[in-house]
Chains A and B, each alone.
Chain A
Amino acid sequence: MAWNWKKMNSAKKSLIRRGAVALVAYEVLWAVAYLWVDRAKLEGPMLWVPAALTTLPVVGLIWVMARYLGEEVDEFHRLLVVRCLLWGTAAVMTSVCFHGLLQLLGWKGNWPAGVELGMFFVAMLAAKVTYKVANRVPADADGFMGREGAR
């Protein structure tokens, strides 16, 4: 299960690097937008400007995944990433659906902000770990298959 940076292909390395940049950018932009609203006392439609600013890294993250899917040559790994994305999206949808239905059925509460985004990443990570464990190949399998293929 341990990460081996040296054994990773360049597409996966780029995905991790760019993904980390996007996540750091999200944190930084959130803090900047929050401070901006706090100092400038923004109100009304002007609030949409910092709100839209915080979406840029999130859209950037999806673009990073799109680039990875374009760069990855291993069809199996590409499919796994798409499946993880589907799990993440499904988790967001479920959370939004559950929250919306609770309100529709008379619940007066409200979920804290950021729950959906958190669920997206947690579900993606859980799917990634699950697929990794389920598809684990014994350490000598690659070598064995290589010898078989060479015959």
Chain B
Amino acid sequence: MILCGTSTPAGKQYQRRVMVTMSLYVLVLVAAVWIVKHTHPHGWLLYTIAVVPAVPMLAMMGALGVYLQEEKDEYIRLITMRSLLVGTAALLAMLVVNDFLRSISGAGALPVFTSWIVFFLVFGLAQTVQTMGNRVKDDA
């Protein structure tokens, strides 16, 4: 199975970058929660602390952009582009439903990290489905 072209050099590079950004994200998130718990910041300091964990997440999207530029295999790039579209569609659809319910019935916002989980889950699922659908036997 090819997930973001893990068999290609660009795919391996992408995996490495994702690992680094994910590790950074966990570190920054734990640090942010620890700081808030122990120092109880308010106002602009709280906003600043809340925005910092988004930076590694942005870097992850950047890594995906760089991967799309570096990947030489046209077919794998196409699969990744399609998966990105499917993931974005799922993300936006979920947000639109939530927006509607929030403005009509006063429902609450989505739980934290739901969007990230949905996006990357659908992104990975779309890649898997496409790869499985186009699988060629070894002797073909």
Asked if B104 and A85 sit within 8 Å, CB to CB, the answer is no
- The contact of B119 among A63, A79, A82, A93, by CB within 8 Å, is A93
Which A residues are CB-close (under 8 A) to B51?
Answer: 94, 98, 101
CA distance A56 to B110 in the complex (A): 20
Q: Mark B15-34, 1 if CB is under 8 A from A, else 0.
A: 00000000000000000110
Q: Which partner residue on chain B sits nearest A101 by CB separation?
A: B50
Q: Are the CB atoms of A54 and B96 closer together than 8 Å?
A: yes
Q: Which B residues are CB-close (under 8 A) to A99?
A: 109
Which stretch (A12-20, A103-111, A136-144) binds chain B? Answer: A103-111
Q: Contact check, B61 vs A90: say whether CB atoms are below 8 A apart.
A: yes
Report Cα–Cα, A66/B130, bound state, in Å: 15
B85 within 8 A of A: yes
Q: What is the CA–CA distance of A101 and B47 in the complex, to the nearest angstrom?
A: 9
Give chain A residues whose Cβ lies under 8 Å from the Cβ of B112: 100-101, 103-104
- Interface residues of chain B: helix, strand, loop or mixed (majority): helix
Contacts of B101 in A (CB 8 A): 47-48, 51
**Complex CA distance for A66 and B116, rounded to whole angstroms:** 22
Of A34, A48, A88, A97, the contact of B88 (CB 8 Å cutoff): A88
Interface residues of B in 80-112 (CB under 8 A from A): 81-82, 84-89, 91-93, 95-105, 108-112
Query: Is residue A21 within 8 Å, beta carbon to beta carbon, of the partner chain?
Result: no
How many residue pairs link A and B with beta carbons under 8 A? The number is 148
Among A67-96, those with CB < 8 Å from B are: 69, 79, 82-83, 85-86, 88-90, 92-94, 96
Contacts of B49 in A (CB 8 A): 105
Q: Are B47 and A66 in contact (CB under 8 A)?
A: no
Chain B residues within 8 Å of A, Cβ to Cβ: 32-33, 36, 46-47, 49-51, 53-54, 57-58, 61-62, 64-65, 68-69, 81-82, 84-89, 91-93, 95-105, 108-116, 119
30 A-B pairs whose Cβ atoms sit less than 8 Å apart in the complex? A33-B100, A37-B104, A48-B101, A50-B100, A54-B97, A54-B100, A55-B96, A58-B92, A63-B89, A65-B85, A82-B68, A83-B68, A86-B84, A90-B57, A90-B62, A92-B92, A96-B95, A96-B110, A97-B116, A100-B113, A100-B114, A101-B32, A101-B50, A102-B47, A105-B33, A110-B108, A110-B109, A113-B99, A113-B100, A114-B103
Contacts beyond the supplied A93-B58, A105-B33: 10 A-B pairs with Cβ under 8 Å: A30-B100, A50-B104, A55-B96, A86-B64, A89-B88, A97-B115, A100-B109, A101-B50, A102-B50, A113-B103
The 10 closest A-B pairs by CB, nearest first: A100-B112, A62-B89, A113-B99, A90-B61, A55-B93, A51-B100, A113-B103, A96-B115, A101-B50, A97-B54
